[in-house]
Every structure is written in structure tokens, then in C-alpha cells.
Amino acid sequence: MVWIYSLVSVTVISLISLIGVLALAFREEKIKKVSLFLVSFAVGGLFGDALIHLLPESFEKLGLNLGTSLLIILGILLFFVLEKFLKWQHCHEIDCPDHARSFASMSLIGDAVHNLIDGLLVAASFTVSLPVGLATTLAVIFHEIPQELGNFGILIHSGLSVRKALFFNFLTALTAILGAVMTLVIGSRIQGFSLILLPITAGGFLYVAGSDLLPELHRELKISTSLGQMILMLAGVGLMALLTIFNG
């Protein structure tokens, strides 16, 4: 059942890469506004999953010790390195000035690596328990929607046709399935492999939510928009808390 849950989850995550086509049906200004609120929900979901599910499970399974804490820090550093050396940025807008035409190929490479890691982490979460796996899957989905809109925009602005942009975006998304298979195969041979990935996942989620997503929200200073962001952040955290309550 772990194989089924994991593969179905990463397949759904991969299909989110096709959401970019929806951007063509709406005005760019509308997409930017919606994307900003999606990012707010993603922040709550990522923080909620890390602090409500992944960290408690990590300390319960691996112990409240230095090793577990260092694995959390490793997760933070891992995502830092991805951004530094693959020149990959979490751009959550259709038109992002930080991405020049020459960054399109690097964006695809970075996205492929990121999705591979997502697959590793989702499958590792399901090996711990169904609730943890489901929570991690939802947290990844919340983050993937605005990210894939941004990636699609980068590819379009780099000169690719809509069809090619969708194809390459979907191709990089499929690495999530490869990552899930890797975790399930390696985990069946190396005892404790999946458990080690739990605190790394938590650290990665904390980095993405705190370093990449929160700064995006600070670009908008209107009181009404800021209030909406706060409500959606709380909704993301609340959803993660509800998963714990219903499965407790």
C-alpha cells in the first residue's frame, strides 16, 4: 500500500505542472493576484507540516538528540545549495524580472532536481504513516501550484511555444516519480533510510517557507491583502492541524 499511496501522490504532484495552461485563460494581473494568495496558503501548509507532523515524528522516531537536529539543518542547507548552485529561484509570478532568457534551461534543471527531492520526501513520509504522507503530499501540492505557474511563465518568456513549455515542464515534474521509487527501493534495503529523510524534509520545508515564500508576501503592503494573506496562512496551518486531529 505504501507503493500505491506514494506513486499516486507523486503522479498527482507531477500533473500539477500542466496547470500553467490555465494562465493563458486569465489576464496576467489576475494570475499574479491569485498566485500571491496561493503562496500564503503554501506558507501555512509548509510550516504546519514541518512543525505539526514532520518534526514531532522525527524526534519520536530518531530521538531528541544532536543527530536529529543536525539532519534538520542539513535539510535547510540542501535547499540553500540547490538555489545557489543551480541558480534556481522560487519565482511565484508569471513575469519575474529575476529570470532572464538564459535562465530557462537552468530553471528546468533546478525544477527537475527539486521535483526529484519532492518524490524522495513524499515516499519517505508515507513509509512512516499514512497521515504524515498525506500531510506532506498536501504541503508539496500547495507549494507546487504557484511554483509551476512561475516556471511556465519563465519558459514562455524565454521563447518556447505553449506546447513545448507544457511538455518540458511536465517532463521535469516526472522526476518526482523517480524520486519516490528511489526511496521505496533504497528504503527496503537500508534500514532507517526513510526515517532519516523526515528531519531533512522538515528543514527543507522550513527553508522554503521562510526564505523563499514569506519575502514574496512582503511585496504587497495593502492592509486588506495582508489580512487575506494572514487568513490563508492560518488556513494552511489549520488544515495540517485537522489532519492530526482526525487521525489522532
Distance, in Å, from the CA atom of 201 to the CA atom of 169, rounded to the nearest integer, reads 23
What's 54's DSSP letter? I
Residue 222 gets the label, from left (phi > 0), alpha (psi -120 to 50) or beta, of beta
How large is the greatest C-alpha to C-alpha distance in the chain, in angstroms?
53
Tell me the CA distances in angstroms from 51 to 106, 169, 209, one per residue in order. 31, 30, 12
Residue 122 amino acid letter: V
Q: In this predicted model, what pLDDT tens digit does every residue of 197-248 receive, in sequence order?
A: 889 989 988 998 888 788 888 887 788 888 988 999 999 899 889 887 776 5
Tell me the CA distances in angstroms from 101 to 153, 160, 224, 230, 245, one per residue in order. 11, 10, 35, 34, 47
Q: In this predicted model, what pLDDT tens digit does every residue of 17-74 receive, in sequence order?
A: 887 676 666 665 666 667 777 788 888 988 999 999 899 989 998 999 999 999 999 9
pLDDT mean across residues, the chain: 81
Q: In this predicted model, what pLDDT tens digit does every residue of 93-136 receive, in sequence order?
A: 444 444 444 456 666 776 787 788 889 989 999 998 888 899 99
pTM to 2 decimal places: 0.75
User: Quick check: 181 pLDDT over 90?
Assistant: yes
Domain boundaries, the chain: 27-243
Residue 22 amino acid letter: L
Structural contact between residues 126 and 133, judged by C-beta atoms closer than 8 angstroms: yes
Quick check: helix, strand or coil at residue 188?
Answer: coil
Cα-Cα-Cα-Cα dihedral sign, residues 43, 26, 90, 141 = positive
The cell 532507517 sits on which residue? 192
Distance, in Å, from the CA atom of 212 to the CA atom of 48, rounded to the nearest integer, reads 16
Alpha helices, DSSP H, located in 49-161: 55-62, 66-85, 104-128, 130-157
For helices 104-128 and 175-187, what crossing angle results, to 10°?
40
